[in-house]
Amino acid sequence: MTSLQQSIELSQMLHLQNKYVKEQGAPVVVKADGLAAGKGVIVAVSLEEAYEAIDSMLVEGSFGSAGSRIIIEEFLEGEEVSFFALVDGETALPLESAQDHKRVGNGDTGPNTGGMGAYSPASVLTKELEALVMESVILPTMKGMAAEGCKFVGVLYAGIIVEKKTGFPKLIEYNVRFGDPECQVLMMRLESDLAQALLAACRGELGKVSLEWSPESAMVVVMASEGYPGPYKRGSMIRNLEEAELLWPTVKIFHAGTDLDSDGNFVSSGGRVLGITAKGKDIKEDRERAYDAIEAINWPEGFFRRDIGWRALSLDQLTSNL
């Protein structure tokens, strides 16, 4: 294909995309069709923002090849929940739910990230809704793939929106992995042997497995490098991690983007760097312990959201210990 033909094809594609967005109205969701490290989604609150997002992906190549094709989706108003199931091709074993915080800034502001924090269980997803997600989303997907001769074995992660108006769960995306940072809070609450459950999935024996979960909740707060999800510097020193982890017996610091320098000191090597995770009797206790640990960490070049769990707690509870 010549460059002229490519230009004509791109122009036609832009015209159709913009026409469709105008017909749908705003707010509307513009997504890169490829892998974009959790950042390829723009929630456009106006038509102008939608047009800019389309140009950014298709013309400017802001997400590289991941944005060479885009998807325009309906905007769903409600709470987003991550729901997980372990699948062996014929049996699906539900795990627990979590709620991620995708936006970089407090109050769910700013661009999307790979996740700035999460808590589990997600209070908005009741046991009744969990059963509905299993029956209407997870099981039909598993059975449909098997019927097509493509049995799925692994972790099926359904991104769900519990609609504000109807209270009904709607599927917005699938992943085939444990989510990050949701995985951290799930592992803090899982009391069974994960390796045995994964092995049973590989062997097609999930029907023999049951999992035990802590009745306590868990929360993770992500510390990221200044500038993330945009350009950021690597190599800044991170101190006092051991002291922070010893503040509470239920605090665990997961390393997502760290390295060791020549002297054995921890330094940043990524955008999302640390997952400070805590377990407690409720979300309020989780928050107190996680943020206590964060305050003990000496990393001036890092930042974090101060409102993880805000949907599950009132504003006065959120700010009482910060």
pLDDT tens track for 296-317 = 999 999 999 999 999 888 644 5
What pTM, to 2 d.p., does this model score? 0.79
Give the pLDDT score at 2.
63
Beta bridge partners of 237: 267
Residue in the structure block whose two tokens are 């085939």: 176
Which tokens belong to 205?
A: 């024996």
**What confidence category does residue 118 fall into, taking pLDDT thresholds of 50, 70 and 90?**
very high
Kindly give, in sequence order, each residue whose CB lies less than 8 Å from that of residue 155, ignoring residues fewer than 6 positions away. Answer: 84, 85, 86, 87, 95, 176, 177, 178
CA 223 distance to own-chain centroid: 15
Q: Residue 290 and residue 244: Cα distance in Å, rounded?
A: 9
What pLDDT does 5 receive?
Answer: 66
- From the list 19, 6, 2, 4, the residue with the least C-alpha distance to 61 is 6
Minimal CA–CA distance to 174: which of 126, 125, 120, 137? 137
CB neighbour class for 108 (10 Å; exposed up to 12, middle 13-18, buried from 19): middle
Which residues share a beta bridge with 43? 29
pLDDT at residue 19, as a whole number: 86
Rounded to whole angstroms, how far apart are CA atoms 153 and 149?
A: 13
| Structural domains for the chain | 3-74 (3.30.1490.20), 78-114+121-208 (3.30.470.20), 217-319 (3.90.600.10)
Give the span between the Cα atoms of 268 and 266, in whole angstroms. 7
**Per-residue confidence (pLDDT) for residue 6, from 0 to 100:** 65
Question: Region 153-163: what's the mean pLDDT?
Answer: 94
Are the beta carbons of 256 and 270 closer than 8 angstroms?
Answer: yes
For the record, the structure tokens of 36 come out as: 């974009």
How large a percentage of the chain has pLDDT more than 90?
A: 67
Please tell me the predicted confidence (pLDDT) of residue 1. 56
Per-residue burial over 65-102, b if 16 or more Cβ lie within 10 Å, else e, is ebbeebebeeebebbbbbbbbbbbbebbbebbbbbbbb
- Amino acid at the residue 261: D
Decide: helix, strand or coil at residue 46: coil
pLDDT value, residue 275: 98
Q: Using DSSP, state whether 282 is helix, strand or coil.
A: coil
Q: Can you tell me the distance from the alpha carbon of 163 to that of 160, in angstroms, rounded to the nearest whole number?
A: 9
Q: What are residue 174's DSSP bridge partners?
A: 158
- From 296, 293, 249, 56, select the one nearest 308 (Cα to Cα): 293
